Amino acid sequence: MAKSVLSAPHFQTEAAAFAYVEAELWPNGPVCPHCGETARIGQLNGKTTRAGLRKCYACKKPFTVRMGTLFEDSHLPLHLWLQIIHLMCASKKGIATRQIQRMLKCSMKTAWFLGHRIRLAMDPGSTAGQLGGSGKTVEADETFISKSPKTKWTADEQERPGPRRPKAQILSLVERGGNIRSMSLDHRMVGPFLYEHVHKDSRLVSDGAQHYKFPPVASHESVDHSKYEWARGDVHTNTLEGFFSIFKRGIIGVYQHVSTAHFDRYLAEFDFRMNNRAKLGVDDVQRAAIAVRGAKGKRLTYQTIGEEAGA
């Protein structure tokens, strides 16, 4: 499958890859990242010139479309970036770091970091907008993520001294027929998470967990999972069950040794595919284009991500 799809020119040559990314990031033509000039810009051609190199005749500086994006700090050719982005966007459960490493013939560290940069491109951040609204229902539910009671969760946790930490939990919110938003569950943050992501005029349905008491929304109904009540009419969180199942299969089957410190990044990846799913009219090609546009204005350094991991 992948082979025929990846035969498209922008996956194969740098010139075509630059043309593709430029069309996505500069829909109205090139913009100088130094001074904002849009008119007096020339393309530098020549045998020794890097692909995509431009010159701004206003500020006299050279630039490419990679500047000011996640692609900037990378030596990886753009057409290889696009291959990995495409695969991550098209694979329901994500793609293993090992597979990236084999495709690019790079180190595991490089492959792992590349995956995280693409996850950042998939993360809409503060531009996501709220779920729900008047007349709309938002489901909230949480689930445990673990391999088995005997398996400790991650390598980095195994190395940590002290008592075993509880199993990881995630919390997701989904607007029925719409978008999803997930986070690794921190009980103290549930209120702020709801406040930020759910429109106040929404109807919220959840289980009876304590952290849903007094939600910042117009109405709230719950089923009592602790009393084996899963649905009462349309009060249920069944929409999230399918998502949880895909996330678990991805985390356990594809990504394997995921540190809980990086959970939110993986959730952003799985949320992204869910929010841009075929059912909502987004195909593989469009989904990859959305991820490419998400690379704009974002930076992620290995140092930052290493510190987050406690490495």
Nearer to Zn ion, 32 or 185 (CB): 32
Say which amino acid occupies 237.
Answer: T
Do 283 and 81 form a contact (C-beta atoms < 8 A)? no
Shortest distance, position 127 Cβ to Zn ion, whole Å? 26
Task: Tell which residue, 302, 279, 300, 268, has the closest CA to residue 126.
Answer: 268
Torsion, Cα 264 270 273 275, to 10 degrees, reads -60
φ/ψ region of 221 (left if φ > 0, alpha if ψ in -120 to 50, else beta) reads beta
How far apart are CB 52 and Zn ion at their closest, in Å?
A: 16
Distance of CA 311 to the CA centre of its chain: 22
- How many Å separate Cα 127 from the centre of its chain? 13
Which lies closer to Zn ion via its Cβ, residue 59 or residue 280? 59
In the region spanning residues 281 to 300, those forming contacts with Zn ion, defined by CB under 5 A, are none
Site for Zn ion, residues 43 to 62, rule: CB under 5 A: 56, 58-59
17 torsion bin: left (phi>0), alpha (psi -120 to 50), beta (else): alpha
Binding residues among 9-48 for Zn ion as defined by CB under 5 A: 32, 34-35, 37
Interface pattern 228-267 for Zn ion (x via CB under 5 A): ----------------------------------------
Give the C-alpha separation, 167 to 248, whole Å. 13
Give the neighbor-by-neighbor strand order of the sheet with 41-43: 41-43, 54-56, 62-63
249: tokens are 């299969």
User: Which residues, 76 to 95, sit near Zn ion by CB under 5 A?
Assistant: none
37 vs 157, beta carbon nearer Zn ion: 37
Pick 58 or 290: Cβ nearer Zn ion: 58
Query: Whole-number minimum distance, CB 44 to Zn ion, in Å?
Result: 14
Minimum distance from residue 17 beta carbon to Zn ion (Å): 23
Are 249 and 93 in contact by the 8 Å Cβ rule? The answer is yes
- Residue 263, number of CB atoms within 10 A of its CB: 20
Residue 96 Cβ, how far from Zn ion at the closest point, in Å?
A: 41
Shortest CB 78 distance to Zn ion, Å: 21
The residue among 39 and 311 lying less far from Zn ion, judged by its C-beta, is 39
Tell the smallest beta-carbon distance from residue 35 to Zn ion (Å). Answer: 3
Site for Zn ion in 158-197 (CB under 5 A): none
CA–CA dist 293, 134 (Å, integer): 30
Residues in contact with Zn ion, counted by CB under 5 A, come to a total of: 7
Q: Name the residue nearer to Zn ion (CB basis): 56 or 82.
A: 56
State which residue, 42 or 253, has the beta carbon closest to Zn ion. 42
Residues that bind Zn ion (CB under 5 A): 32, 34-35, 37, 56, 58-59
